[in-house]
Amino acid sequence: EAGVVQSPRYKIIEKKQPVAFWCNPISGHNTLYWYLQNLGQGPELLIRYENEEAVDDSQLPKDRFSAERLKGVDSTLKIQPAELGDSAVYLCASSLGGQPQYFGPGTRLTVL
C-alpha cells in the first residue's frame, strides 16, 4: 500500500514569491492534515480536512496561507507571499477516522 505522497521534497524561493505544496493521502483516508514543523520543534497543525471540508483551520495564517481539497482526495497548500519566517518543513498526514495519523516525507521550504 502506498503511503502519503508529497511534492516537492525541497523548495527554495525568494521572499514575496508564491509557493505551493501538494499532498496525496493514503487511499481511503478521509481525514487529511497539514502540519508545520520548525527546526527543533514538533509539528503543529495548520489545517485539518474531513473529506473536502476544512473542519479545523484555526492555526492557519489566512492572510497569506490557503489550502484546498476540492474532491476530498489530494490537497494543495499555498503561501502567497512567502516570508523569511515561513522557512520550515511542511508535513501532510492522513487518517481513517480516529485511527493513527500517517505522515508523508514533508516539503522542506527555504525562503531567501
Whether the CB-CB separation of 67 and 46 falls below 8 Å is answered with: yes
CA distance 75 to 92: 9
Site for other proteins (CB under 8 A): how many residues? 24
Query: Which residue in 43, 82, 109, 111 binds other proteins (CB under 8 A)?
Result: 43
Query: Which residue in 1, 39, 63, 98 binds other proteins (CB under 8 A)?
Result: 98
By CB under 8 A, tell whether 110 contacts other proteins. Answer: no
Instruction: At 21, list the grid cell.
Output: 505544496
Count CB atoms within 10 A of the CB of residue 106: 21
Where along the sequence are the contacts to other proteins (CB under 8 A)? 31, 33, 40-45, 48, 55-56, 89, 91, 93, 95, 98, 100-106, 108
